[in-house]
Amino acid sequence: MLAVYLGASAYFNNHFYFGSEINCINVSGKTVEEVDKQMASEIKSYKLNLKEREGKSEQIKAEDIKLKYNSDDEFKKLKNKQGSYKWALAFLNTSDSKMKAQVSYDKDLLEQKMNNLSCLDSKKVVEPKNPSFKYTDKGYEVVSEVNGNKINKNSLKDNVVKAIANGETTIDLEALNCYVKPKYTVKSKETTENKNTLNKYVSSKITYTFGDKQETIDGSKINNWLTVNDDFKAEVDEKKVKEYMNELAGTYDTIGKTRSFTASSGSTIKVGGGDYGWYTDASKETQNLIAAIKEGKSIKKEPTYTQTAASHSSNDIGNTYVEVDMGRQHLWYYKNGSLVVQGDVVTGNVSQGHATPEGIYSLKYKERHATLKGQGYASPVDYWMPFNGGIGIHDAPWRPAFGGSIYMGDGSHGCVNSPHYLAQTIYENIEAGTPIVCYY
């Protein structure tokens, strides 16, 4: 037995132990010279196969990166480390038989090769996507995530370098988690939460009333305003809601619009401009609408207005108003459909470019004992009722006469100058917000 042992030891002095592997290549019973030739051949023909999705694959070859072993006596060092007398133990402990030879390569060439891989071609990359949500007549349905084929280049490179160092010939990119995955899937709790939230939002029903007209907002419209943001949270798109609210305001607001008006003369005229009428507070109502949607409410309401008119009918002026016919230089004040007072007036001086503007305005306020100031004048009056900036109705004690064509050359700076009795009667019966209709 001793002779057999010593004989085998002599043999293994120049031969690798049975079961020996270098970089996963079997070198059992071979001499260092034989291993040199074998490994030189192996490294020249080495290629790393990249197993990709959809059955695709690519290779990185030794010649692509100038792969070689670190030194010419690399295998002799491994054999010397293995020794010759421990051959019997190699059958029991294979750790000494699994050896690793250090390799080197051109890192720049490897980087270049990887950059040219088809799987990293940006033109061919399909980005991974989280689940999406599709609106139907029955509510929202979940559309499955998209896995795509985008690769984490750093992860791929780490695995390639490791495989080359270990002499591996194949790596599975899927198994090594080299692909970028969607953050969420159809099974994620966040997906279910989003679906429930979206369905809550589209269950809302908000009906806006405009007199005898109404506009109803339900899921068929609301779904166009819903999104899932980058943080995978369901939300209402405020910009789209405001666009809708502005459209609604454009349809039903009357401020500045041309109206048909039945004048005291009996004729029907068209009057446009001014600041009287319905005016929706679109910004505030946008927030109100979003809040109602988020609560899944079913409500009926009027929009929030910054300014209101007498009614929502085609004649939103109502039956309480001041009528100023600047062509006839005459004023009428009606309250609840009854004529309260009328009389001649003097309006803005046409020859000096101070003509009183046409339009339908809203009385801003009324004030007793005001002093009207302008360039070169300060005029105290008993009754002051502004309706268009610095233009208003007031008494004019400095005027001996009213009506006629006085306004053409000796008119006011734009105000409606009235006899004292006329201004007083209007003042005592009018309230802020009353429409003032001015026309020629």
CB atoms within 10 A of CB 277: 21
Q: For residue 201, which of 218, 189, 187 has the smallest C-alpha distance?
A: 218
Task: Clarify whether 415 is annotated catalytic.
Answer: yes
∠ CA 402-406-408, rounded to 5°: 145
Q: Which of 394, 413, 420, 438 is catalytic?
A: 394
418: number of CA atoms within 13 Å, CB side? 28
Torsion of CA 189, 193, 196, 202, to 10 degrees: -140
| 25, two tokens | 């290549």
Task: Clarify whether 394 is annotated catalytic.
Answer: yes
| 226, two tokens | 């819903």
Q: Which of 15, 119, 178, 415 is catalytic?
A: 415
Q: For residue 375, which of 413, 411, 406 has the smallest C-alpha distance?
A: 413
Phi, psi dihedrals of residue 324, rounded to the nearest 5°: -120, 110
Q: At what angle do helices 238-252 and 282-294 cross, to 10 degrees?
A: 120
- What DSSP designation does 414 have? S
Q: Chain-centre distance of CA 186, in angstroms?
A: 23
Task: Please identify every residue annotated as catalytic.
Answer: 394, 415
